[in-house]
Homo-oligomer: A and B are copies of this chain.
Amino acid sequence: MNTFINAKDLGNLNVALKEALRIKKDRFSYKDLGRDKTLLMVFFNSSLRTRLSTQKAAMNLGMNTMILDINAGTWKLETERGVVMDADKPEHILEAIPVMGCYCDIIGVRSFAKLENKSDDYSENILKQFVQYSGKPVFSMEGATTHPLQSFADLITIEEFKTNSCPKVVLSWVPHPKSLPQAVPNSFADFMNEANINLVITHPEGYELDPKFVRKAPVEYDQMKAFRGADFVYAKNWSAFKDAYYGQILSEDHSWTIDIAKMNLTNNAKFMHCLPVRRNIVVTDEVIESSRSIVIQEAANREISSQTILKRMLETFKT
Contacts and interface: CB of A to CB of B under 8 A. Distances in A.
A253 to B, nearest CB: 14
A250 interface: no
Given A74-B46, A296-B95, A100 B278 contact: no
Given A85-B279, A276-B96, A277-B92, A102 B296 contact: yes
A49 B96 CA distance: 9
A36 B96 CA distance: 32
A76 B79 CA distance: 32
Nearest to A52: B103
A152 to B, nearest CB: 16
A40 interface: yes
A125 interface: no
Nearest to A49: B99
A265 B221 CA distance: 70
A40 B53 CA distance: 11
A28 interface: yes
A100 B276 CA distance: 12
A interface, size bucket: 35 or more
A52 B100 contact: yes
B52 A299 contact: no
Contact of A299 (B102, B280, B289): B102
Given A48-B75, A75-B46, A275 B56 contact: no
Interface in A47-88: 48-49, 51-53, 55-56, 59-60, 64, 66, 68, 74-75, 78, 81-87
Given A275-B91, A276-B91, A279-B92, A98 B48 contact: no
A177 interface: yes
A19 to B, nearest CB: 20
Interface in A278-298: 278-281, 285, 288-289, 295-296
A281 to B, nearest CB: 6
29 contacts: A36-B60, A40-B52, A48-B68, A48-B75, A48-B91, A48-B96, A49-B99, A52-B66, A52-B103, A55-B103, A82-B285, A84-B280, A84-B281, A85-B278, A91-B276, A92-B276, A94-B289, A95-B275, A95-B276, A95-B295, A95-B296, A96-B276, A98-B299, A99-B275, A99-B299, A99-B300, A102-B296, A103-B300, A103-B303
Given A48-B100, A95-B288, A102-B303, 5 more contacts: A28-B36, A38-B56, A81-B285, A83-B279, A95-B277
